[in-house]
Amino acid sequence: MVKRLDADVLKNLIDGLSEAWIKVGRYWRVPCKSAITQARQRLGARVMSQLFHQLIRPMATQETLGAFLNGLRVVVIDGTCFDVPDSDENARVFGRPGSRPGTVAAFPKVRLVILIEAGTHLIFDALMCPYRIGERVRALKLLRSVTAGMLLMWDRGLHSYEMVQATVSHGCDYLGKNTSQC
Q: How many helices (H) and strands (E) does the chain have?
A: 7, 6
Higher-pLDDT residue of 105, 93: 93
Average pLDDT, the chain: 85
In angstroms, the Cα distances linking 111 to 64, 65, 105, 137 are 30, 30, 15, 11
> What is the average pLDDT across 52-79?
94
In angstroms, the Cα distances linking 26 to 14, 31, 36 are 11, 14, 20
E-assigned strand segments in the chain: 68-69, 72-83, 109-117, 122-130, 150-154, 173-176
For residue 27, pLDDT beyond 90: no
Please give the pLDDT value at position 1: 41
How far apart are the C-alpha atoms of 62 and 55, rounded to whole Å? 21
pLDDT tens across 146-166, in order?
999 999 999 888 888 999 999
Higher-pLDDT residue of 104, 67: 67
| Domains, the chain, with CATH or none | 2-43 (no CATH), 68-176 (3.30.420)
When mean pLDDT is compared over 6-15, 35-44, 93-102, 166-175, the highest value belongs to 166-175
